[in-house]
Structure 1
């Protein structure tokens, strides 16, 4: 494209009206709640007002917290609502001078990086590239996709070709925001990306049911030819009825290009695989015959492997992994493991062994399985112990002190941010000292998460804590339950946060739902049960372990099925099991669970349990033995909640 044309496009984008509005004049509103007299309560109220971007209330509350111990957050919560409107969109009249002063005052702190993240969104929105380019290199975490999109847009406007970087960044529409839509539009207008790229991005959004976002992406490049209406219909149809979508796609294939047909069969395959339909692998075979792999979303590519696994088609497993986007394949050890298994099934043992060796040192589900494929049992690494002096050195770390204040206020989001920020750049010994410090002050989830970060020196007694051991021993002995499995589940459920509550109302160490707790209490004859009792660790563990035992009995003593049932309810794993084409190993069943949360949950629980068993017994263990095999069965009714 001629330089003059590119310059014209750049000017057009720079001049494009942004959608943020000037701050509106205050409107008459109902009277705000009174400001709490207790400073801690007022601080929590300030945080909530800032979350809603309520400028008037944050100004009023912050004025009462002049001497509050965490002054940086008082100031942040006052300024932040001036940067975003009530719907969360960036304003173009943000108080830049106040932001600059804040960043200078709290330089190097976690909250300064959070403020810089916010300001970059504002600067990108109003196309202030001079300030954006100056601030972006100082953004430490760089964990905001929309900010990354603005950074790429800034580079593109300077004449750089960023198409490859943009394709790598734009992989999950959940995190796009305005910045990524703007980036897609400009790259399409400047011919850095093709119309097919725009169509793919819109289709990715549509696959995840972000219909409005899909429309905005398409509208951002009106001159680019998007997917045909036929393919859009296939995507929408496949969400509810893959077989109907397949029939429609076959009947209308003549109106689609070869690439569009391949994309269509990939989407149909994805949704069929999520419904555990045996036809899914066949749909994917049609997709592979047509090619066009670059137009498949990450989720479609992942489910292509899972569909082949469920059918036991190792050749297709190998091909599906080989066709994966390289960054996606490298991100998860699952694909290295299953690729190794596929090579092994093809009698390519030496190549398979290399795959297993590349991940066998990882302390996770697939690292453990890879180690077993190499003929090893699961053992604990040598323990590194740190001194009291090393632990005590953590007591004065400012980030940890701020974190403790937040935890005292039950503000775990801010507490975790401050704690994790303080961990940056620590050596393994320092991480272990921080983990032991967290254990001593009873921040057990921080102890586990911090110990999990070490690379060469380890202490698995910190990674796999066993608080309330006497209570847990009695409870598991009473019902004949494997204590390693129980601890593996608690570690995944609550990270030993006694007052943990889920959005669904699950409570305590074992995250038992209120209705389930009441049902179990009645079953075991606890006539005086009340929901408030779930705050007592002994009651929480007693009811949780009883429920685990009931679920395990109901599901043929399969730890794999019972772990899935604890997370998703007992009816779902029975349904998933009933559709199996044959007996499968537990690892295949776990990997092909349709719910991403439950899939991750089962793998983590059983991986945890294997390490707990090694800690408790002092003997090598087998994750494969714990996973067992899962056989097809008829769905049976259950009285379990």
Structure 2
């Protein structure tokens, strides 16, 4: 969400990226524009002094902030100071945005016509669709929706389904696929659920699924609203989500909805104390139906799985017959992988909805489960090979693993024909890319990325390669990587996997004995090579070193007079980051998956995850079952990156499986592996 604190971070930072997070892939959605109380008109300061261009930029930043605060008067004041600004469409946007609730339809349409075909026009259409949905102005909403190019806003999609449902269309299947994240529902998706319940398109099971999902995601508001639709108490539901011990002490209740609210409390309590949750569930089992008991055990199993608790597998076995959420299906599969129950792996993946089952991770593990079955049939083997073939691709973790299963060489594809200057020249003249460069110069990466990605939609393969090269020439390496990754038939892996600052990094890695490919793989994931990247928690620079970590490493290596501002120095950042990688690798007994997890989530958490092992575990299974979603994605991306970098550096095929190896219990020896 585009919240006030994040807004400030974006203004102040050239690259506000979270540690290990992927670079932004698409344009931000309207829901990211949270509003705050309007500031009084008297708060408008005088125009900044200084050179005209600097003053204009300062006024533009103040205009942007005024729009974010919904302060229409301040926005109008700042906009009036920018009659000839370099990005007039955004001056118009920020002037109109805080007045959108009061603006006439003709005024909004005039803006859309004036800036038609641009990213900011699509942004305004997104904003207007949300306002039209709020007003229940379905005539204008239905007219504007087909013109919304990106159509990437969940709440707009919810309003669209409401509009269709009110016309008598059957939209329940689309709604079930859309309604998977209660914390992001807002008013639009709450309206959709109520509309479908009232029209009987959603039955009791649909509402119960939403209630359980809201409990899983600690979404109190959505849980209360759905409970009310089911005839339950909103007060008791809020207690079940926020104060589960209190809800459990109150008792199980008599009606079926009371039972469901009690089970909600069981699931929430399991996040804090699995023991208390299981004791309560066992005690009240005689008063619950068989399916209610299974639902309770599934909630406990999910909490246990997310802490890698040893009893999680047993809890999943007791949940047979329970309807499972998407998270429950995935964690049941991960738990089965950890204990080697390939039959459960296969059954659970096959029970997933088709879109989830088609994900590269579950396609890979389903294929592995098919091949792990006793007496594998020819048809099973063919099905597994087809699954591997569908996802085989050097550019992803499971794609690389699938290639190896097929016996394919993991090598760098040959580059296309070299770019000519006449192919790059149109990029410099492209208005959208020019706007993006202007935003990047203002440290507004949010807007810059939106403008950049909007233009990429129009490009063919050679255009993408040329745009990536244009990004390289302007030192915007995150956009270079992201742009080049979009090609499917023509490749330039020096763009996709660059190795800048090698003159600094290589001597450092050589002196430490570190794998240079792994270091570059980590940097690519951490900062996308933005040297002044800064995360919301303070991690800084190319290797996203935390100030406390930097101070610790500096002391260990004898770097005196360290202060956290030194993390902005490229050489210091690489020195401290590489030394820290070396430390966590030694602590992980040389395991790159475990060390990568420690670099991202902290050595203490990595030690905790390792402590759950009672036997050597395949590195891919360890990576897939990391409890933190960010770290799970991070480790997989770092190791896939490193494998590709090794293929680039060594100019020979590489093996991700070999790099992953096995993760051993603490104190174990490699020769214990069967």
TM superposition score normalised by structure 1? 0.90
Cα distance change of structure 1 residues 42 and 231 upon mapping to structure 2, 3 Å threshold: same
Q: Give 1:283's match in structure 2, choosing from 297, 315, 336.
A: 315
Corresponding residue pairs, total: 600
Q: Give 2:449's match in structure 1, choosing from 416, 423, 436.
A: 416
Q: Give 1:312's match in structure 2, choosing from 332, 340, 349.
A: 340
- How far is the alpha carbon of 1:317 from its aligned partner? 0.8
Q: Distance in 1 between matches of 2:509 and 2:40?
A: 60
Cα distance change of structure 1 residues 411 and 454 upon mapping to structure 2, 3 Å threshold: same
Q: Distance in 2 between matches of 1:110 and 1:167?
A: 30
TM superposition score normalised by structure 2? 0.85
| Alignment pair present for 1:530 and 2:563 | yes
Give CA-to-partner distance per residue, 1:446-492, whole Å, 9 cap, x none: 00000111112211111001111111111111211111001000000
| Aligned 8 A contact 2:271 2:303 in 1 | yes
| Alignment pair present for 1:36 and 2:45 | no
Q: Which residue of 2 aligns with 1:336?
A: 363
Cα distance change of structure 1 residues 279 and 542 upon mapping to structure 2, 3 Å threshold: same
Q: Which residue of 2 aligns with 1:432?
A: 465
The alignment's C-alpha RMSD in Å is: 2.2
Superposition map of 1:161-310 within 5 A: 161-219=170-228, 222=231, 226=257, 228-287=260-319, 289-292=320-323, 296-310=324-338
| Aligned 8 A contact 1:281 1:307 in 2 | yes
Q: Distance in 2 between matches of 1:210 and 1:219?
A: 15
Cα distance change of structure 1 residues 362 and 181 upon mapping to structure 2, 3 Å threshold: farther
Q: Distance in 2 between matches of 1:255 and 1:133?
A: 49
Q: Distance in 2 between matches of 1:541 and 1:79?
A: 45
| Aligned 8 A contact 1:188 1:221 in 2 | no
- How far is the alpha carbon of 1:334 from its aligned partner? 0.4
Q: Give 1:148's match in structure 2, choosing from 143, 148, 157.
A: 157
| Aligned 8 A contact 1:379 1:614 in 2 | yes
Give CA-to-partner distance per residue, 1:597-636, whole Å, 9 cap, x none: 110000000100000000001010011111110112269x
* Unaligned residue ranges in structure 2 (runs of 5+): 1-34, 50-54, 234-255, 669-674
| Aligned 8 A contact 1:506 1:513 in 2 | yes
Q: Distance in 2 between matches of 1:27 and 1:376?
A: 61
Give CA-to-partner distance per residue, 1:297-328, whole Å, 9 cap, x none: 21111111111111121111111101112122
- How far is the alpha carbon of 1:25 from its aligned partner? 12
Q: Which residue of 2 aligns with 1:323?
A: 351
Q: Distance in 1 between matches of 2:220 and 2:667?
A: 38
Q: Distance in 2 between matches of 1:573 and 1:309?
A: 19
Give CA-to-partner distance per residue, 1:524-545, whole Å, 9 cap, x none: 2222433332222112111111
| Aligned 8 A contact 1:492 1:605 in 2 | yes
Q: Distance in 2 between matches of 1:622 and 1:423?
A: 32
Q: Give 2:643's match in structure 1, choosing from 604, 610, 635.
A: 610
Q: Distance in 1 between matches of 2:528 and 2:445?
A: 13
Superposition map of 1:15-30 within 5 A: none
Q: Which residue of 2 aligns with 1:8?
A: none
Q: Which residue of 2 aligns with 1:389?
A: 422
Q: Distance in 1 between matches of 2:261 and 2:428?
A: 62
Q: Which residue of 2 aligns with 1:88?
A: none
Q: Give 2:110's match in structure 1, choosing from 101, 105, 112.
A: 101
Structure 2 residue matching 1:228: 3-state secondary structure: helix
| Aligned 8 A contact 1:578 1:634 in 2 | no
Cα distance change of structure 1 residues 47 and 392 upon mapping to structure 2, 3 Å threshold: same
Q: Distance in 2 between matches of 1:252 and 1:94?
A: 57
Q: Give 1:70's match in structure 2, choosing from 63, 87, 97.
A: 87
Q: Which residue of 1 aligns with 2:98?
A: 81
Cα distance change of structure 1 residues 25 and 472 upon mapping to structure 2, 3 Å threshold: closer
Give CA-to-partner distance per residue, 1:477-522, whole Å, 9 cap, x none: 1211111001000000000111100001011101101111122122
Q: Which residue of 1 aligns with 2:665?
A: 632
| Alignment pair present for 1:160 and 2:169 | yes
| Aligned 8 A contact 1:278 1:581 in 2 | no
Between the two structures, name the one with larger relative contact order (CA 8 Å, sep ≥ 6). Answer: 2
Q: Which residue of 1 aligns with 2:73?
A: 56
Q: Distance in 2 between matches of 1:96 and 1:249?
A: 56
Cα distance change of structure 1 residues 25 and 428 upon mapping to structure 2, 3 Å threshold: closer
Cα distance change of structure 1 residues 206 and 416 upon mapping to structure 2, 3 Å threshold: same
Cα distance change of structure 1 residues 291 and 229 upon mapping to structure 2, 3 Å threshold: closer
Q: Distance in 2 between matches of 1:103 and 1:246?
A: 57
- How far is the alpha carbon of 1:212 from its aligned partner? 2.1
* Unaligned residue ranges in structure 1 (runs of 5+): 1-22, 84-90, 636-641
Q: Distance in 2 between matches of 1:181 and 1:579?
A: 40
Give CA-to-partner distance per residue, 1:272-317, whole Å, 9 cap, x none: 1001012112222222x2243xxx2211111111111111211111
Q: Distance in 2 between matches of 1:136 and 1:403?
A: 26
Q: Distance in 1 between matches of 2:276 and 2:344?
A: 24
| Aligned 8 A contact 1:268 1:283 in 2 | yes
Q: Which residue of 1 aligns with 2:585?
A: 552
Structure 1 residue matching 2:536: 3-state secondary structure: coil
Superposition map of 1:115-134 within 5 A: 115-134=124-143
Q: Distance in 2 between matches of 1:56 and 1:196?
A: 49
Comparing 403-412 with 305-314, greater Cα deviation is found at: 305-314
Q: Distance in 2 between matches of 1:484 and 1:231?
A: 48
- How far is the alpha carbon of 1:395 from its aligned partner? 1.1
Q: Give 2:386's match in structure 1, choosing from 350, 354, 357.
A: 354
Q: Give 2:538's match in structure 1, choosing from 505, 516, 522.
A: 505
| Aligned 8 A contact 1:435 1:448 in 2 | yes
